[in-house]
Structure 1
């Protein structure tokens, strides 16, 4: 495992992060506490030191699991969590990036994580109803109070991130040192604006979804019977996706590795700013994914992968509308600027 600085800070972070979105068995299939423990220990033994979770993952189970698993060794890890998504679907102010939700979400996460500080606190989703100045100032207050060490932003357009960091520089607030976005062989949109912006400003880029919900691992290239049921991809697989998967498999065959390792190695090769987030429901999956750290893709095979992919339609399709009920709850919608 190699280490880099987190953005413009002096904090050392491992080249891949551990995603804890699967930690917990609430709201669908996930990893049990013992399976989560095995994955965390294996990641730590490999030299990893960043754990990424969020207040809403597994209805809070993820943070509770992480808090229990880090008992007695909390300070050896860079702990990251997020806020924005609703804590209470009946409360219109229990979501968003405003000061009230930030304060209450942060206190909730600190209790679940059994810690008095979070190393990296992410704004989970751009909330276009809350002025970015309000969000930045509230985050800076939490930093000055010692409850947060660094701040980052997830799933936001480049112009918002640039404007936010310009304001932070002018007003001596804590800037966003890291960006979190989706990125894989089927979704290269960040190469247009977000990745160049992050590289130019010295931000780290944590990328999620390296295997495109299992598509790039070859898991869903065809329907198959599993325990009497037909297993299909969570979203329809286009012919273009099938083509990319076949190329990934071809490269994997030539290198003697798995398609998942090729997909992750490709991401790692794109920029030194990038830190792939590796997540898994089973220990064996994480071990396979960590194997990508030793995979080097030769230039000719890299060209083969690049020419098989293309840019998507643009970043606005990549983040979810901030007025969606699952983010703001059933009573958190705005009509003509009013509740």
Structure 2
């Protein structure tokens, strides 16, 4: 395992992040404690140190399992990321949302479940369209100054909100968001319109969730296997099937599994990207780790880009039109004047 810096920080994290949403057996699926421990052991033995969880995963069981695991090992070896926002109990109207009250309460509860004094990376889990971004950033900065959190990050939030937040944080001397967690895969490339360019501008690392599109990119649904994706899901439509078939073709060409190709693609997009690969079995983790040894050549990347291409919308597509040269102001303005 190689290590990368997380965003504009000195924090060293493994090039693959272990997703732990499946730690726990609530809702009839997932890994029990013994299996979860074995998965984390295998990840650490491979050099992995970056763990991703959240206060609501498996009703808090994911954090509890990780806490029991870390209590018996070197806590400082691991970089532990968790999240706040989503409702984790029904005790009060502020048991959810981005507000400071929920943030502070949620973090204290997470620290108890995780059996630790500090969280390495705290994500805002999802934007609530209610709380002012300055309230969020000041709260996160206070937690960092208290030593309960080391770094701030954000997930599932519009690009303009994140951009405003990091600009405000820089102006005020507060801690900035160093990582951006969004759904990103060959089947879900819409973050390329605004979110990923924004992350590149601010030097944020992108940590994609569902880089295998819920297993669709492994090809198992084309083989008729059952899973947790609903039949009407966009991950299983005609376009997604076409993308998956191309992934399988390249995997066959390389003599690897389709999952290796899909994960490798996310890591070869020209920006800092650490995919979050979940596992509920040790064998799944071991397969995902093999993606680190896969390098796609220019032709393979082009085939994958073409089959999964999306419309950037305005102004992205406008910038790409014939005759519009962003590096030639004269040509650009000539085109605008003609309109």
TM-score by length of 2: 0.88
Cα pair 1:220 1:232 within 8 Å, conserved: no
Q: What are the residue-to-residue correspondences of 1:174-185 with 2, within 5 Å?
A: 174-185=175-186
Q: CA deviation at 1:90?
A: 5.5
Question: 1:84–1:124: 8 Å Cα contact kept in structure 2?
Answer: yes
**What is aligned with 1:288?**
287
Q: What SS is found at the alignment partner of 1:23? A: coil
**Largest Rg, 1 or 2:** 2
Q: CA 1:53/1:232 → structure 2, altered by over 3 Å: closer, same or farther? A: closer
Partner residue of 1:132? 133
Quote how far apart the aligned CAs of 1:232 are. 7.3
User: Cα gap change, 1:232/1:112 in structure 2, threshold over 3 Å: closer, same or farther?
Assistant: closer
1:199 to partner: Cα distance: 1.2
Task: Report the CA distance shift for 1:231/1:140 in structure 2 as closer, same or farther (over 3 A).
Answer: closer
SS in structure 2 opposite 1:244?
Answer: helix
Structure-2 residue corresponding to 1:234? 230
| SS in structure 1 of the partner of residue 182 of structure 2 | strand
After superposition, the C-alpha distances for 1:157-202 in whole angstroms (9 at most, x for unaligned) are: 1110010011111111111111111100001111121111111211
Give the gaps of 5 or more residues in structure 2. Answer: 314-339
Query: Alpha-carbon deviation of 1:205?
Result: 1.0
Once the two structures are superposed, the pairs formed by residues 39-118 of structure 1 within 5 Å of their partners are 39-71=39-71, 72-89=73-90, 91-118=92-119
Q: Distance in 1 between matches of 2:42 and 2:288?
A: 12
Count of residue pairs brought into register by the alignment: 309
Report if aligned partners of 1:84, 1:125 keep a CA contact under 8 Å in 2.
yes
Higher relative contact order (CA 8 A, sep 6+): 1
Return the offset for 1:27: 2.5
Is 2:19 the partner of 1:19?
yes
Alpha carbons 1:119, 1:150 under 8 Å: kept? yes
**Which residue is equivalent to 2:261?**
262
User: How many angstroms apart in 2 are the aligned matches of 1:140 and 1:232?
Assistant: 38
Q: Give the aligned partner of residue 159 of structure 1.
A: 160
Following superposition, the deviation at residue 235 of structure 1 comes to 4.4
Q: Which residue in the other structure is 2:221 paired with? A: 220
Instruction: Please say which of residues 254-263 and 8-17 is displaced more in the overlay.
Output: 8-17
Q: Is the 8 A contact 1:189 1:311 kept in 2?
A: yes
Q: 2:330 maps to what in 1?
A: none
CA distance in 2, matches of 1:55, 1:253: 39
Shift of 1:222: 5.0
Specify whether residues 241 and 107 from structure 1 end up closer, same or farther in structure 2 by C-alpha distance, changes over 3 A only. same
Relative to its length, the structure with more helix (as a share) is: 2
Q: Which residue does 2:300 correspond to in 1?
A: 301
Equivalent position of 1:311 in the other structure: 310
